[in-house]
Copies of this chain bind each other. A is one copy, B any other.
Amino acid sequence: RALKLGMMPADGIGKEVLPCAARVLQSTPGAPKFDFVTLPAGFEHFQKTGSALPDETVRVLREECDGAMFGSVSSPSHKVEGYSSPIVKLRKELDLYANIRPVVGVRGTRDDEKWVDTVIVRENTECLYIKSETIEEGPQGQVARAIRQITERASKRIGKKAFDVALAREALRSKAGTSATAGRGKVTVCHKSNVLSVTDGLFRTAVRGVYESDKKSAGGPGRYEGIDMDEQLVDSMVYRLFREPHVFDVVVAPNLYGDIISDGAAALVGSLGVVASVNAGDTFFMGEPVHGSAPDIAGQNKANPIASIRSAALLLEYMGYSDPALKIYKAVDDVIREGKYLTPDLQGTATTSECEEAILRALQK
C-alpha cells in the first residue's frame, strides 16, 4: 500500500517548493510509494474563504494520512479579525510537540569555515504560542498582556525527545566511524531562568530531571549513558552560536527561543533556504521548511527547493525509512558541493526547477 501524505503548500513560495519535494520523494530509489493529497491551508485561503485551516484539512490529516508536508504561510503583520496562524494551530491540533531542526553544513564548501552540525529541538505547543492575549484600556492608554505557559508535562516530553535525538545521532556517528569529536553527544538546555525563574525554572528542572532520573533509575548503564548535558541562557546562546557553533550538538528550547535560535543557526549555513524541519508527535510527522513564504520572490521560479526537499527526507527518516532519507541528504549535499545549480539565496543563478533537476539527477547516481 502507498503512503498517503497530506500536502499543504499554503502561501507564497510554499506553492513552488512543496511540489519539488513531492517529485523527489517519488524518484528516490528505495523509497515507498506515495499517494499525495493536496489540502488547503494558509492566509490566501483565509482571504478567499474566511478559514486559514479548514476542519476538513485537519480531519483528512488525522483520519487518512500517514504523514504530511507543510509549505509556508504569509502572515499579516497586524491583527486581522478571525485569522490565526494555521501552522501554529496545526502543530497543536495534531500534538506535534517537537519541532526538530537540524542545521548542518556541507563538508567541502565554505560551510567548513564555521562548522555547524547541530539540531534544535524546539517545544512546539506552548510558551507564548498558546496565544492567550488580552488588551484593555487603562488610565495611561492600552495595556496588553500575553500568557507564557510552561508545563512540566510538555517540558519533560520535549526533554526526552531531545535526549533521544542525541542518542540517535551518536548511534549514527559511531556507525559512520566519526564519533567522539569534541562537544558531541550533548544536550544543551536553553532557557532564561535568571529572569524567568518560575517558568524557565520549570523547563530547566524538567529537562534536567529526564537526564538525572535516567541515571538514577538505571541499574546498569542508563539509556542516556554517554550523552552529556549542559545549559545556556538564551541571550548567550545566540552569541555563542555565532562565535563557536561547533560546540553545540542538540539544543532543546521552549517554543519562542527555539524559533529565534534556529533562524540564527540558519544564517551559519548560507541561507534559510536550506534548513529543514520536521514537526514530530509520537506517531505522526509533518515536514516543513524553516523559511517563510517570501512574497518578494514568490511565483518567479527563484525559491530554493532544498529546505523542502530536506524536510521531505527528514519526514521519511522519522517515518522509519532512513535509507532513502540518507540518499536524499547525500544528493542535496552533492549538489551544494558542486555549486553549479544553486539558487540566488546561495549566490547562484539557477532557478528552482534547475536546482530540483540537479538533485533528481544526483539521486540516480
Copies in the complex: 2
| CB-based contact B242/A205 at 8 Å | no
Q: Which of A32-40, A133-141, A211-219 contacts B (4 or more CB under 8 A)?
A: A133-141
A182 CB to nearest chain B CB (Å): 18
| CB-based contact A78/B140 at 8 Å | no
Interface residues of A in 233-263 (CB under 8 A from B): 233-236, 238-243, 256, 259-263
Within 8 Å of chain B (Cβ to Cβ): is A19?
A: no
Q: Which of A49-57, A147-155, A323-331 contacts B (4 or more CB under 8 A)?
A: A147-155
B residues near A243, Cβ cutoff 8 Å = 267
| CB-based contact B260/A242 at 8 Å | no
B residues near A239, Cβ cutoff 8 Å = 263-264, 266-267, 272
- Select which of B133, B152, B231, B292 is within 8 A of A197 by beta carbon: B133
B residues near A205, Cβ cutoff 8 Å = 78
B residues near A148, Cβ cutoff 8 Å = 128, 145-148
B residues near A196, Cβ cutoff 8 Å = 128, 131, 133, 146
- Select which of B143, B151, B256 is within 8 A of A152 by beta carbon: B143
Q: Which residue of B lies closest to A143 (CB)?
A: B151
Known: A133-B197, A149-B143. A267 touches B292 (CB 8 A): no
Q: Which residue of B lies closest to A345 (CB)?
A: B243
A49 CB to nearest chain B CB (Å): 20
- Chain A residues proximal to chain B, CB less than 8 Å: 75-79, 85, 88, 128-129, 131, 133-135, 138, 140-153, 156, 192-199, 201-202, 204-205, 231, 233-236, 238-243, 256, 259-264, 266-268, 272, 292
User: Could you list 28 examples of A-B contacts with CB < 8 Å?
Assistant: A76-B194, A77-B193, A77-B194, A77-B233, A79-B198, A128-B195, A131-B196, A133-B197, A135-B198, A138-B151, A141-B152, A142-B151, A142-B152, A143-B149, A144-B149, A144-B202, A145-B148, A145-B149, A234-B260, A236-B292, A238-B238, A238-B261, A239-B267, A239-B272, A241-B267, A242-B242, A242-B267, A260-B260
